[in-house]
Chain A
Amino acid sequence: MAEGNNGFEPKIIGFLCNWCTASAADLAGTTRAQYPPNLHPVRVMCSGTVDPVYLIKSLLSGADAVMVGGCHPGDCHYVSGNYKARRRMAMLQNIFESLGLDANRIWTRWISASEGPEFAAAVREITEETRKQGPNPLSTDWAL
């Protein structure tokens, strides 16, 4: 893997919907799409099941960025889970912005099961952006 930023390799936790983005990740794998190994996937049944606490806990315990991957708006397997997820993501980012924390370490991507290349591109983008930002100050402070 290309190294920049003094060899800093970002650690990214991705919460991926079983019905879409997680399948897109499998597809990216089986079609041998190239993308960096920095994303650690966690399969969830719907983006709507991702409680903000998962994302905050990740950012406070070693993650440099977090991602939620869900079905495109309108396509949620459970009808409206991703609309609710969208509100939560907007709210969490808004809270981080208010507090002067790095809201841009919190990512959302809507990627359907057939979009393997889009998944690979998203992982590349998030990895590169996070590499530029450098290590997450929240994840290394022992006293928080």
Chain B
Amino acid sequence: MAKSATLAVKDGKIRSSINALLADLLSKQVVEAVLVPLAHPAGNNVVQSLVTNPDYLEQADVFAPVMPVNAGRIIQAMTRLTPANKKTAVVMRPCELRALVELVKLRQAQLDNLYLIGIDCPGAYSVSDYPKYAAEKTSDDFVKAAWNGKDDPMLRAGCQVCEYPVPLMTDLTIGSVGQDLKKQLLLLASTEKGEELLEGLGLTAEEDSQAAAQRHTAVDQLLNKIKETREKFFEQTREEIGGADKLATVFGPCIKCQNCRVACPVCYCRECFFVSPTFELEAEKYLGAAEKRGAMRMPTDTLLFHLTRMTHMAASCIGCGACEEACPNAIPLLKIFQLTGTNVQKLFDYIPGRSLEDELPPTAFKEDELEWIGEK
């Protein structure tokens, strides 16, 4: 079904081969802008950047193991009011693409004129860990090491148990799984827009290539291995956080700064209930509430905040782990949200970020479902 072409890895250099391809997109006027991670001149970060001059694409580094901000959020900021007025290619990780799909369904972002380019994602480190890696190794080293089966304990919590490190919805995938990375990458078009990119680049696309078949097999193996990892992870998580006592312990260090909410790419409300006037109370209300119990933790409503956010987010949680990265007190939010999120998603047979057609579970219903609710 899907058409693909190969991208030769020149002189064994993955990063510069991809960058040349991206520069071609601009210089051959296939698109007018590219959103892509560029290496920060200081060397300590790699940041999503909107590029119109192909010269800057020498600094691009799509496999650099760091994801400071989920790019779904960035595209939301760009397109919430009006869609892109110029053809723009956006190079994103699978969890960023999934966030974007959820945001489109939540009417927070628009895809018109965007060309979604997804990468097979080898994962990322925390922003604070990245400079240590970058001082010694390159992104080429990183992606080569990633697919030969080594587990990397330094990866972000989200990446450790990432369910879909391959894109679920893109126009074009830069495939690295199952490829001989000394020689080539796979460019896999899954939509007409993707084929348009290949054509514009002057690449001949073929149906059912051998490289595409190899990726397919390798991806299946990878996803099966991930399933096992995740089952163990869920078991451990239930042990670690299950029950009122343990949950109280887990949220003991919470300062209710709400960084987790702000960093979440799919937390969608324009005005969060938890910063609304509902929580601006007169002193007598605080004192009255305290009197009922004898003592009341301040700031109030820490667990209320987390549980309520879960009811808003669980169906759409893509497991990127941005919440945990943002927490100043290392609360294992990714674990908690993935445990609750995955179960809610199973309940509604919903995979966030898979397609624009699947309805968001909280906005939809079926007449014949969930019959046990309300039964005696």
Contacts and interface: CB of A to CB of B under 8 A. Distances in A.
A and B interact physically: yes
A141 to B, nearest CB: 6
A41 to B, nearest CB: 17
Interface in B213-248: 238, 241-248
B303 A144 contact: yes
B12 interface: no
A52 B365 contact: no
Contacts of B365: 80, 83-84, 86-87
A95 B247 contact: no
Interface in A70-119: 70, 73-74, 80, 83-84, 86-95, 97-101, 108-110
Interface in A43-90: 52-53, 56-57, 60-62, 70, 73-74, 80, 83-84, 86-90
Assign chain B's interface to a size class. Answer: 35 or more
B43 interface: no
Interface residues of A, number: 39
Interface stretch (B51-59, B201-209, B307-315): B307-315
A90 B273 contact: no
Given A60-B304, A142-B294, A142-B296, A86 B310 contact: no
Contact of B370 (A62, A87, A97): A87
Contacts of B289: 61
Given A87-B365, A95-B314, A100-B247, A142 B308 contact: no
A60 B304 CA distance: 7
Interface string B273-302: 100000000000000010011111100011
A140 interface: yes
Residue with the greatest number of chain A CB neighbours at <10 A, chosen from B246, B273, B310: B310
Contacts of B361: 87, 91
Contacts of A110: 374
Tell me the interface secondary structure of chain A in the complex.
Answer: helix
Contacts of B362: 84, 87-88, 91
Nearest to A47: B374
Contacts of A88: 311, 362
Given A84-B365, A100-B238, A100-B246, A143 B297 contact: yes
B243 A100 contact: yes
Contacts of B242: 99-100
B310 A95 contact: yes
B367 A109 contact: no
A94 B374 contact: no
B344 A94 contact: yes
Nearest to B246: A100
A79 to B, nearest CB: 11
19 contacts: A53-B304, A57-B301, A57-B304, A61-B292, A70-B374, A73-B367, A84-B365, A86-B369, A87-B364, A88-B362, A93-B373, A94-B347, A95-B307, A95-B310, A95-B343, A99-B336, A100-B247, A142-B294, A143-B248
A-B pairs with lowest CB-CB distance, top 6: A100-B242, A83-B365, A100-B243, A142-B295, A144-B303, A52-B311
Given A95-B310, A99-B247, A142-B295, 9 more contacts: A56-B307, A87-B370, A88-B311, A91-B314, A97-B343, A98-B344, A99-B243, A108-B374, A137-B245
